[in-house]
Amino acid sequence: MTELTMGKALNAGLHRALADDPSVLVMGEDVGTLGGVFRITDGLLSAYGPSRVIDTPLAESGIVGTAVGLAFRGFRPVVEMQFDGFVYPAFDQIVCQVAKFHYRTRGAVRMPLTVRVPWAGGVGAAEHHSESPEAYFVHTSGLRVVAVSNPADAYVMLRQAIACDDPVIFFEPKRLYHAKGEVDLDVDLADAAPMGLARVVRTGRDATIVTYGAQVATALEAATAAEDDGLSLEVIDLRSLSPIDLDTVAASVRRTGRMVVTHEAAAEAGVGAEVIAAITERCFHHLEAAPVRVTGHDIPYPPAKLERHHLPDLDRILDAVDRVLDRPHSLSEVTP
């Protein structure tokens, strides 16, 4: 075990993937000499050379579109979108081309592409640098979507994403790039939890909090705080947003009977809506109360000085817990 920041864990994962498989390429804006604006690709250029670590023109559709051609040729491109808000110019290539080539050609063409997206808010960034676009990609069949929440997962799941024969949209919470954790650098992928599995990060009896990404830490804080109140909350890190591991969530909700889903992204037609709909279909008779979402507001991401009002914090989560537990001091009696 080695203690690493998530940024360093991702860097180690890329090093390992490049070393293990000569068909792996890293491409994106500033990923070479600079090592990426977050230094996630630091040192890769000197280790693997410019033919495998490619500084691209500033053209996101171009980056993903050429990666499609490289995948055609048998490569496994790992592309970096510099920030979440800049994945939109590549949206067409991702949803119309990357997601569909395997289907369209009935399996003849594989798209083992990994699109890394430094993701979401909480870092006081400028406009277009704190977006949570995951639902757009979850809604697109043919893509896999994952979101990491800690260095150990970051290291393993990035390698799994690169090894996967399907395209993976890989969300990395910027807020956690400097968060530290233990990483087993020698872990065998065959022994690691599959990329599509959720994880119960804290067990509890009274309600289940379902979340992913940086919000996992906030949910854990809420669970710790609730303990003082005599409440036992279970916290599930989805890890994968497509597919969603409904079995793990359903097993938890069957025990607790109550569920809160929280994410930074807006509520409307988001991942939380999907989780609640799917769990309600499966576990209706186990639910003691209507599940509740705690999300970013349905607004464009606000200016940095106001973002703390947008990001669901510990108190908003606990407020929702009060609601699903039907506790009297809930602040929000009224369904929004």
CB 179 within 8 A of CB 205: no
Two tokens, residue 191: 């022994």
E strand segments, 269-331: 292-296
Q: Which is nearer to another protein, 62 or 302 (CB)?
A: 62
Per residue in 288-326, is it b (16+ CB within 10 Å) or e — as a string? eeebbbbbbeeeebbebeebeebbbbbebbbbbbbbbbe
The catalytic residue among 102, 129, 263, 310 is 129
Helix (H, G, I), strand (E, B) or coil at 97: helix
Q: Which is nearer to another protein, 52 or 297 (CB)?
A: 52
Residue 212 Cβ vs another protein, minimum distance, rounded to whole Å: 15
CB 127 within 8 A of CB 84: no
Q: Which is nearer to another protein, 236 or 311 (CB)?
A: 236
Q: Which is nearer to another protein, 51 or 335 (CB)?
A: 51
* Separation between Cα atoms, residue 300 and residue 100, nearest integer Å: 29
Q: Using CB atoms within 10 A of its CB, is residue 90 exposed (0-12), middle (13-18) or buried (19+)?
A: buried
Q: How far is CA 18 from CA 13, 172, 260, 325, in A?
A: 9, 19, 40, 49
Q: Which is nearer to another protein, 106 or 329 (CB)?
A: 106
- Residues lying near another protein in the complex (CB under 8 A) are found at 25, 51-52, 56-57, 59, 61-62, 65-75, 89, 92-93, 96-97, 100, 102-110, 112, 141-142, 144, 164-166, 196, 242-247
Instruction: Provide the edge-to-edge strand list for the sheet that holds 76-80.
Output: 53-55, 24-28, 76-80, 114-119, 168-173, 144-147, 240-242
Residue 282 Cβ vs another protein, minimum distance, rounded to whole Å: 10
Helix (H, G, I), strand (E, B) or coil at 197: coil
Annotation says 129 is catalytic: yes
Residue 273 Cβ vs another protein, minimum distance, rounded to whole Å: 15
Residue 62 Cβ vs another protein, minimum distance, rounded to whole Å: 3
Residue 196 Cβ vs another protein, minimum distance, rounded to whole Å: 6
Return the active site residues. 129
